[in-house]
Chain A
Amino acid sequence: MNGTLKRVAVACMVMFGLLMVNVNYLQAVKAEEFREDNRNFRRFFERYENQRGRIIAGNEVLAESVDTDGEIRFERRYRNGRLYAHVLGFFAPESERGIEATENKLLDGTSADLIVRRAVDLITNKPTRGADIELTIDPRAQRAAYEALRRAGRKGAVVALDPKTGAIKAMVSLPTYDPNQLAVPNKGKVAQAYNKLDADPDQPLLNRAIETTYAPGSTFKVVTTAALLEEDDTVGPQTLVDAPQVLDLPGTTVGLPNYAGAACGSGRVTLQFALEKSCNTPFAKIGMELGYEKMKEQAARFGIGEPLQIPLNVAASSIGKKEDQAALAQASIGQRSVQMTPLQMAMVAAAVANDGTVMKPYLVDKVVSPDGDTLDETEPDELSEAMSSDAARKLRQMMVSVVSQGTATAAQIPGISVGGKTGTAETSDNAPPHAWFIGFAPAENPKVAVCVFVQSGAAGDRATGGATAAPVAREVMRAVLQR
């Protein structure tokens, strides 16, 4: 029987051989496919297997992963989630948003910067932890901005910058949402919550500070003034400019009036007076005289026209395409097709405050490894030179008088000289205007530049930059300056 037994032995060998080949095929060749399969819940668990890094602002921990000791090991929690939602974003079961998305590789520890750390963890058998992200946000300023903006209106945005570095001190967008409800480790619940937010006509998911653009209204006159000062360095605050009650627009039958059709002084006023009272006609005329190219060039020097990463994606602002002179006149006062993000307008104010230099705005201050070593620290970076320091000085002087005796008196802070410019932007014929304010303080040594934007309809029909937006800016600046 040995002959047949040997043949049976060969059959057994073939059976084990087949099993082995098959296991090799499954675990070496097909493994990737099984791992990546959507139905493989292990992908889902893996997301929560390692302790994700924290997101910190000042001394406050804004986002952290909490060990649940359950099947879902670490759950993401946000403290004061509604306050920071648009900056932090959220860590959803299948995707991320905001800083959680842009810094994902550092936070989850897979970044190449952490490769040594991971190797050490592997050897010492310690679980991998992600790096902490320290934001430039000042929690006091953020809270002040949030509270003040909520009082001013339901929809809008606030951005505060350190004009000397570009560090973003506050970034608030309203309406907001609770990122915790989008970070629960349950695909169904998150999808439901997300769809509800996504369908909301008020667009709570939208970061109004950077993701979309609005007509900036009169705040844009700062850009027009900068263009004039750059064009002719003999021009100063006391230079006289034409300020008719209605400006004839070439090629049209309608004229361009001042706000509410009012007169502007005697019809020939100083540049400073025109800015203080926010007259439309002088700036429309200045814009037409300078021409589209010069206006466009000046805008570009403020950074307008280019998208940015801070590291969140910032939509590109624009002054619109070249049209006729009538269109240019309207563009010069921030109407027509001029479209700005609130961050861009904060950058304009910051450039004026910082002697004409635009610093690249940024949100991430430091990346800190789990054991406390600083892996990366953002160096302030110049984005562009918007104007000469002389022009900036003149513009600063004029903006200070806008706050001290012009349309923006509501932005005054006792004992500190504040510079600013209001804007009340018409959106369409019958809709209420957007209310804007851009400014900086203290004027002699600026520590903060700010932009407040209250969206059309959010603060009633009578919203104006001076009455609605300027007080918000005052609160934010006071918080940053700790006054």
Chain B
Amino acid sequence: MSADAASAVPMTPKRRGAQLFMLAFAIGIIMAAYASVGLGMNGQVPAGMLTYGLGLGGLMLVAYLVLAKFAPWADPLILPLVTLVNGIGLVMIYRIENAPYENGASATQQITWTALGIVMFTVTLLVLRDHRVLQRFTYTAGALGVVLLLLPLLPFIGVELNGARIWINVGFSVQPGEFAKLALVVFFAGYLVAKRNVLALVGRRLLFIDLPRARDLGPVLVVWGISVGILVLQKDLGTSLLLFGGFISMLYIATGRTAWVLIGLLLFVGGAFVAGQIFSHVGDRFEVWLDPGNNEFYTRAAGGSYQLMEGLFGLGSGGILGTGLGQGHPYRIPLAFSDFIFPAVGEELGLTGLMALLMCYALIVERGLRTALAARDPFSKLLAGGLSFILAWQVFIIIGGVTNLIPLTGLVTPFMSQGGSALLANWILIALLVRMSDAARRPPPQAIQDEGLTQVMQR
């Protein structure tokens, strides 16, 4: 990079002030929403509002200070956006917990996990000063990912819950799949950076598509095999779809070969079709997707559309503006505090609230992809792109599922659903994005004086 070019690049503004303001704004919205739940339900501001609000604010302030010190060039929007989404989830869980009957929602638990998530975010930023070291652990991460995926299948610690075997119990419940997701994206990024030139080689041309060489199909088939394994052994459609989609998208980013996407699609559709024939629960989901209002499906005890329809009824009752926090009946939707938190929000905050929420997710993804574009090395590009896409993909799968855009597959709604594993994993994901955005936006070292053609080295 020549000195001329470097001096032509304007200094990227740090925008730390803007970030602090946005963070305060997000905390303000959350506290107002929290108060609104209490006012909507019994006309009183909840007693814990100030404690929780200030507690959350304090934690965010620590996270902000660590970020300002150790990742000063980080993207200013990511942290406030994630805080807002997490906070709205928290408020919704608090609201659902305050239902006429016990339903499994626990705001206290979620607040604790949120705090731990923010701590994880801070620790990741502190420990991981340069994300590129992750590249060195490519295969370790891959092995770790597979082991994490396999854990729930082990006897004694593996637990089957709501039909899916994705939990382990080690004193408390952990969903290792969420962490596996991170490890596998790191592995995919490292692996594809090394192999992308080979994988991009063209074998034969069929019609308009450059097919890869047959021998390069190996890795794709392995990941496909793992996905099918998850589907069959853990009955977890969501994670299966999430990982496979994530891998295919990263393969595409790395090689630029549309053929890989088509091959991936074919493999997945084939796999899903066969699974649909063999496993009734997969077929049921598809059937329900086509006609959720059908009373036969609605009343079907297993694999019916009751939960989905309850969510849609909630959305319908919410309408454009929603019933207002604390004034609807979102707790009647089964699992409203976890998989179905999105329709629950839709009932009380309406279309307006959901559009804002989707916009928040879209902006987080957009900031992540922007980081990937700005990153300077292929590993960072792939990792940032992969993490951003997998976040968007997860949001699409679960929200598309509960709104019947696509067949319903269970997944965590990032940052909103109740559950510690997903919160911790996703806060780490955000820490990685923040770390990479810091590296990407950090201006290259400026020459102290014009040293002519002296090359400035950048680590």
Contacts and interface: CB of A to CB of B under 8 A. Distances in A.
A22 B329 contact: no
Contacts of B244: none
Q: Chain B: interface residue count, which band?
A: 35 or more
B372 to A, nearest CB: 5
Contacts of A42: 313-314, 317, 328-329, 332
B48 interface: no
B315 interface: yes
Contacts, number: 140
A8 interface: yes
Contacts of B388: 12
A405 interface: no
Given A1-B254, A3-B256, A8-B252, A35 B369 contact: no
A151 to B, nearest CB: 46
A24 B252 CA distance: 31
A1 B316 CA distance: 43
Nearest to A45: B329
Interface stretch (A25-33, A166-174, A377-385): A25-33
A2 B375 CA distance: 10
B208 to A, nearest CB: 17
B358 A23 contact: yes
B316 A30 contact: yes
Could you say which interface size class chain A belongs to? 35 or more
Given A1-B382, A12-B365, A41-B332, A18 B249 contact: no
Contacts of A8: 249, 252-253, 369, 385, 389
Contact of B373 (A6, A23, A28, A71): A6
B403 A19 contact: yes
B382 A12 contact: no
Contacts of A28: 319-320, 351
Interface in B272-308: 293, 295, 298
Interface in B395-412: 395-396, 399-400, 403-405
B53 interface: no
A198 B395 CA distance: 53
B346 A33 contact: no
A19 B358 contact: yes
Nearest to B316: A34
A15 B366 CA distance: 12
Contacts of B314: 42
Nearest to B249: A8
Given A19-B395, A31-B320, 10 more contacts: A7-B252, A12-B388, A18-B396, A20-B358, A27-B350, A31-B315, A37-B293, A37-B313, A39-B309, A40-B313
12 contacts: A4-B252, A8-B253, A9-B369, A12-B389, A13-B362, A15-B393, A16-B396, A20-B358, A28-B319, A39-B298, A42-B314, A42-B328
Interface of B: 39, 99-101, 249, 252-256, 293, 295, 298, 309, 312-320, 328-329, 332, 346, 350-351, 354-355, 358, 361-362, 365-366, 369, 372-373, 378, 381-382, 385, 388-389, 392-393, 395-396, 399-400, 403-405
Nearest 5 Cβ contacts at the A-B interface: A34-B316, A27-B351, A40-B313, A71-B100, A16-B362
